[in-house]
Amino acid sequence: MDRQRDFTEYVHARQDRLFRTAYLLCGDRDRAQDLAQSTLARLFRHWRHAQRADSVDAYARAVMVRIHLNEQRRSRHERELHERIDPPTPPDRPEVRLTILDALAQLAPKARAVVVLRYWEDLSIETTAELLGCSEGNVKSQSSRALARLRELLPEHMLAATEPSPHDF
């Protein structure tokens, strides 16, 4: 029962952060809940292996990103053109949050994953490449193109603003 207790403690401590990361990856509250649940289910199945990893959080993020990208590949042709974004109620600056989420939604799934991992999760190029199963050069080029696209999509006054707090999302 130690395995179950350890996993339960981990879930209670990290579930909010996992949900926020899932939301940033997919941009939809319901899909983010599904992604977080799928991540936790797979994490539980491989809990012994996850506990032996250097970082359980990094292991969980890797699982989440792989699940998300696999789902995106499978449903690319089935996805609707317009998705309704139903984000959690923000404490303040809702217009900034909605504008950023709208811009993120216009990025390709892998580019969005790179932006979330590199700039939201503040992961290194090396770690991001490992999580996405690609080269560091690919992460750099994806980052560059995604940031250029975000600069095109975001209003000028937002580009000069300071970084939003994680609680803004």
pLDDT, tens digit (0-9, with 9 covering 90-100), for 15-51: 999 999 999 999 899 999 999 999 999 999 999 888 8
Domain, as residue range, for 127: 2-168
How does DSSP assign 22-85, residue by residue?
A: HHHHH--HHHHHHHHHHHHHHHHHTHHHHHHSS-HHHHHHHHHHHHHHHHHHHHTTT--SS---
Residue 165 burial class via C-beta count within 10 angstroms: exposed 0-12, middle 13-18, buried 19 and up: exposed
State how many domains the chain has: 1
- Whole-structure pTM over 0.85, yes or no? no
pLDDT at 5 over 80: yes
Instruction: Reply yes or no on whether the pLDDT at 78 is more than 70.
Output: no
CATH code of the domain covering residue 147: 1.20.140.160
Non-local CB neighbours of 55 within 8 Å, separated by 6+ positions: none
Length of the chain in terms of residues written: 169
Give pLDDT tens digits for 100-117: 888 888 999 999 999 999
Cα 57 from chain centroid? 13
